[in-house]
Amino acid sequence: MNKKILIVEDDIHISKIIKMNLNIVNYETTEVYDGLAALELVKREKFDLILLDVMIPKLDGFALMERIRPYRIPVIFLTAKNSVYDKVDGLRLGADDYMVKPFEAIELLARIETVLRRYGKEEQMMAFQTLLVDLDKREITKQGEVVELTPKEYDLLVVLLKNKNIALSREQFIDKVWGGDYYGETRTVDMHIKSLRKKLELQDHIKTIYKLGYRLED
């Protein structure tokens, strides 16, 4: 599957050039032109990397970086600023690299490849709202604090995350979490969903689908 890159750049001409060069090497790209639009998109979709201009309207790059930090998406800052202080600020906020415009396309591609290699295990991390799930450790944190879940609650949460915005039946949850040889009642799904909602404060996000099952929504 092609890597998805979000381009946040208010200069449409520069954004289109970046998009063209990334598409040539088979990256999937999305463009937005202000910080608030980028924030809303990050909440709804999964991206492998963000190219982020500092001087963008509505919410500047540094402020946006603060807001999207829980999503653990690698970020390369793009800016016309060449001050060492701006670079330090960007990197201190958690950016993975910092490029000063104008730059050559081949250099940008090389930087992107380097950052993505560094995040070679990014598929082992899943984020939703203020939750972060480490699939290697089977650990869930909410706003940085570890939340204790039972093994089945954890498995159920991962199924919800992997199928975000998709309605699944109770039978599908049983098959994915408990296995095809489970012969208990489907009410156990309801009990575990109730517990997840309470422990992770997901009452507004795990929707009940009448006569079917459940769906996780932003």
Distances (CA, A) of 67 to 35, 61, 78, 134: 10, 10, 18, 20
Of 8-22, 98-112, 176-190, 200-214, the one with minimum mean pLDDT is 176-190
Average pLDDT, the chain: 86
Dist. CA 10–CA 160, nearest whole Å: 35
- Quote the pLDDT of residue 89: 65
Average pLDDT value for residue range 42-53: 91
In DSSP terms, which residues pair with 213 in a beta bridge? 169, 209
Q: Please give the tally of structural domains in the chain.
A: 2
Domain end call among 68, 103, 119: 119
**Taking 80 as the threshold, does the pLDDT of residue 55 lie above it?**
yes
Q: Which domain holds residue 209?
A: 125-216
Sign of the alpha-carbon torsion through 115, 65, 162, 133 = positive
CATH number for the domain including 9? 3.40.50.2300
Residues 149 and 194 in one domain: yes
Sorted by sequence, the CB contacts under 8 Å of residue 195 that are 6+ apart come out as: 150, 153
Question: Both tokens of residue 110?
Answer: 């090389």
Distance of CA 83 to the CA centre of its chain: 30
- Quote the pLDDT of residue 191: 93
Dist. CA 126–CA 149, nearest whole Å: 16
- Quote the pLDDT of residue 66: 86
- Quote the pLDDT of residue 72: 80
Residues 151 and 81 in one domain: no
- Quote the pLDDT of residue 198: 94
Domain end call among 99, 119, 139: 119
Provide the pLDDT confidence category of residue 1 given band limits of 50, 70 and 90.
low
Domain end call among 88, 119, 150: 119
Provide the pLDDT confidence category of residue 10 given band limits of 50, 70 and 90.
very high
Residues 15 and 102 in one domain: yes
β-strands 75-79, 49-53: how paired? parallel
Residues 33 and 93 in one domain: yes
CATH number for the domain including 195? 1.10.10.10
Higher per-residue pLDDT: 71 or 10: 10
